[in-house]
Amino acid sequence: MNRAIGVMTEDLGGLALFVKDVFLTALRTRSNARPLVAQVALVSFRSLPTVAFAGLFVGAILVLQFNLILSRYDAQIFLGGLNTSAVIREVGPLIISFLLAGKVGAYTAAELGTMRVTEQVDAIRCLGTDPLQYLVLPRFLAIILSSLLLLTLSLMIGIAGSVVVAQLLCGINPLQYVTAIPRFLNPAIFAAALLKCGLYGFIVAAVSCHQGYTARNGARGVGQAVTRAAIYTNLYIIFAQFIASPTLNWMLGAAQ
């Protein structure tokens, strides 16, 4: 147990230093949109079907659960507001970011890890190019931007899917469903959800790039890096959710 905590603390310190290096690299890098746009397109298209599928079903599952409870109290009029609020505030960003960690995060850790153990990173350094600038920075920024795009899109699909499921399986009129939404949501809540999406995207980017970039010891090391990237990303996201939810609610006055 002590050893596990020691390893994780050491890793967290390494992650902080890595993020600092990436940040300093970003400051001294002249903006070059081409590799960034290419990476955003790659990451977004690769994950779009998974994220859309998950978004749709997260919304659908919650509708069925909330309908079960609200129908007991004859309060189905609140279904649209309650469900959309839950999807946007907590459940949507959390579940979708877990999927992104498994898909984009694992892919990035494996890709960078393989480059590291096959000496591609050292070769880039020897040819006078900074690998943080050339390999890591475009991936890092692309994951954050893609996460924002994908999470926003999946939340929209989730809400749209909820409307359909509410009508087909719960007999709720779509107009009644949609008119209930503003009673539970305001622009500040949307802003808080977007901030969370950005934060979770940042965690996926930082952990997966760090684990891949520091991989060692051949194929086994790459496997360990991918596993650690998936586990640590999910743990850090849960912890971030625990801190970010009350903080953002308080900061943006979105508690109501």
Partner 1 sequence: MIRFEGVTKAFGGRKILDDFSFEVGKGEILFLLGKSGMGKSVTLKHIVGLLKPDWGRVFVDDIEVSCLDEARLGPVRRKCGMVFQHPALLDSLTVRENVAFGLRAPEWTEARALERVRETLGLVHLGPELLDRLPAELSYGMQKRVSLARTLAPGPDTLLFDEPTTGLDPITTTAVNALIHDLSRNLHVTSLVVSHDMESALKLADRILVLDQGRILALGTPQDIERSPEPLVQDFLSEALERRRTR
CA distance 8 to 55: 31
Q: Which of 130, 133, 231, 240 binds partner 1 (CB under 8 A)?
A: 130
Q: Smallest gap, in angstroms, from Cβ of residue 67 to partner 1?
A: 48
Query: CA-CA distances (angstroms) from residue 117 to 41, 112, 113, 220?
Result: 26, 9, 6, 10
118 binds partner 1 (CB under 8 A): yes
Query: CA-CA distances (angstroms) from residue 59 to 51, 55, 170, 183, 244?
Result: 12, 6, 13, 18, 22
Nearer to partner 1, 31 or 256 (CB): 31
Q: Smallest gap, in angstroms, from Cβ of residue 35 to partner 1?
A: 11
CB neighbour class for 250 (10 Å; exposed up to 12, middle 13-18, buried from 19): exposed
Q: Which of 1, 5, 33, 126 binds partner 1 (CB under 8 A)?
A: 126
Q: Smallest gap, in angstroms, from Cβ of residue 231 to partner 1?
A: 25
Q: Smallest gap, in angstroms, from Cβ of residue 11 to partner 1?
A: 18
10 binds partner 1 (CB under 8 A): no
129 binds partner 1 (CB under 8 A): yes
32 binds partner 1 (CB under 8 A): no
65 binds partner 1 (CB under 8 A): no
Nearer to partner 1, 5 or 127 (CB): 127
CB neighbour class for 79 (10 Å; exposed up to 12, middle 13-18, buried from 19): buried
- Establish how many alpha carbons lie within 13 A of residue 50's alpha carbon, considering only the half-sphere containing its beta carbon: 16
Minimal CA–CA distance to 66: which of 155, 165, 194, 178?
Answer: 165
128 binds partner 1 (CB under 8 A): yes
CA distance 50 to 13: 32
Q: x/- string (CB under 8 A) for partner 1, residues 96-115?
A: -------------------x
In this structure, the chain runs to a length of 256
Nearer to partner 1, 196 or 210 (CB): 210
120 binds partner 1 (CB under 8 A): yes
Footprint of partner 1 (CB under 8 A): 115, 118-120, 122-130
